[in-house]
């Protein structure tokens, strides 16, 4: 069996995530304790206790999801349910790409955490300095959504799975695009409750600052195959990985393409390590024949196993 690990993106977070891992797994506990030391603020308290308004902040939820995903992975390995070499592929949605790269050895834990924390900090600043929004368009083709975006000067942010596309841009333009979509009979168009226009040109200041930050970070070649959201294809050269992480801040997330590429490369099953089960849903909507499991808390490890 060739396993592909999936790591969550922003929006999957929920108060309480990871507490059962911290309470029951020494390996997970070590990562949470190290995270607090690296960050200099109490990630554990916000993850485990909230409040939700604090956890939802971009600068908080991105490192929180990163640590949660790797804590699940560490707990699985600690239990002997995931041996070295069992995972042949890793991919993550948006910030989850950094989690996937860390799982594959491109960064050590502390370095990956610093990378995702800086990304989240810079993206939050960009959100606060712009009036952006996002919306989900459901049940339409990429071509139809591309035409809508061109007409209203907004951008496609996420291609999550067949018929689920997210658009991003200036708030009023998103409002206008949603109204037009509904008027034209598009099955479902709805604004999303987000802090800004992620994966659009409004994130350009964050991209530019992130590029400068990443110049100071060492990248190793991944130990197994990782896919980048920017192309939906595998990426392996450290310089290419760095460039992809920079571009990803403002470019479309080709998540469906990543899933298809993993399967085409030989992935025979998918394992989502993160809260909410969203990514497992994307896998099923892409191809219901692909085996997929989702793990979020300690009980899931023993209940589902490997």
Question: Do residues 121 and 152 both lie within one domain?
Answer: no
Q: What is the mean pLDDT of residues 87-114?
A: 98
Q: What is the mean pLDDT of residues 243-265?
A: 98
- What's the pLDDT band for 2 if we cut at 50, 70, 90? very high
What pLDDT is stored for residue 303 in this prediction?
67
Question: Is 159 within 8 Å of 252 (Cβ atoms)?
Answer: yes
Q: 79 is in which domain, residue-wise?
A: 3-128+201-304
Question: Do residues 224 and 177 both lie within one domain?
Answer: no
What pLDDT is stored for residue 188 in this prediction?
95
Q: What is the mean pLDDT of residues 252-280?
A: 97
Quick check: 162 pLDDT over 90?
Answer: yes
- Using a 10 angstrom Cβ sphere, with 0-12 exposed, 13-18 middle and 19 or more buried, the burial of residue 12 is buried
pLDDT tens digits, residue range 12-63?
A: 999 999 999 999 999 999 999 999 999 999 999 999 999 999 999 999 999 9
What pLDDT is stored for residue 305 in this prediction?
44
Question: Do residues 11 and 122 both lie within one domain?
Answer: yes
**Looking at the annotation, which residues are catalytic?**
94, 199
What pLDDT is stored for residue 306 in this prediction?
41
Question: Is 196 within 8 Å of 123 (Cβ atoms)?
Answer: yes
Q: What is the CATH number of the domain that holds 238?
A: 3.40.366.10
Peptide bond just before 51 cis, omega within 30 deg: yes
> Is 196 domain-assigned?
no
- DSSP at 253: B
Question: Do residues 288 and 177 both lie within one domain?
Answer: no
Pairing of strands 269-273, 3-7: parallel
> What is the pTM assigned to this prediction?
0.96
Q: What is the mean pLDDT of residues 103-117?
A: 98
Contacts of 51 (CB under 8 A, 6+ apart): 15
């Amino acid at each position: 069996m060739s396993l592909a690990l999936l790591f969550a993106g922003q929006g999957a977070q929920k108060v309480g995530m990871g507490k059962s891992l911290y309470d029951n797994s020494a390996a997970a506990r070590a990562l949470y304790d190290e995270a607090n030391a690296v960050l200099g603020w109490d990630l554990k308290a916000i993850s485990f206790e909230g409040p939700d308004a604090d956890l939802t902040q971009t600068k908080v939820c991105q490192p929180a999801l990163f640590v949660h995903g790797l804590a699940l992975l560490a707990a699985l390995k600690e239990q002997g349910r995931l041996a070295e070499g069992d995972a042949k592929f890793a991919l993550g949605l948006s910030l989850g790409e950094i989690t996937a790269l860390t799982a594959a050895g491109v960064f050590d834990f502390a370095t990956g955490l610093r990378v995702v924390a800086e990304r989240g900090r810079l993206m939050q600043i960009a959100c606060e300095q712009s009036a952006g929004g996002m919306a989900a368009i459901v049940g339409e083709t990429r071509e139809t959504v591309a035409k809508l975006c061109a007409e209203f000067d907004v951008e496609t942010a996420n291609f999550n799975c067949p018929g689920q596309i997210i658009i991003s841009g200036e708030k009023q333009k998103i409002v206008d695009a949603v109204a037009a979509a509904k008027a034209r009979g598009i099955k479902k168009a709805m604004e999303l409750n987000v802090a800004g226009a992620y994966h659009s040109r409004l994130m350009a200041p964050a991209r530019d600052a992130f590029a400068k930050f990443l110049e100071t970070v060492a990248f190793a070649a991944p130990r197994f195959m990782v896919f980048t959201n920017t192309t939906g294809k595998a990426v392996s050269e450290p310089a290419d990985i760095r460039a992809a992480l920079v571009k990803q801040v403002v470019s479309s997330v080709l998540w469906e393409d990543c899933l298809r590429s993993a399967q085409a490369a030989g992935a025979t099953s998918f394992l989502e390590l993160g809260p909410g089960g969203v990514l497992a849903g994307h896998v099923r909507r892409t191809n219901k024949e692909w085996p997929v499991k989702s793990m979020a808390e300690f009980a899931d490890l023993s209940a589902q196993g490997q």
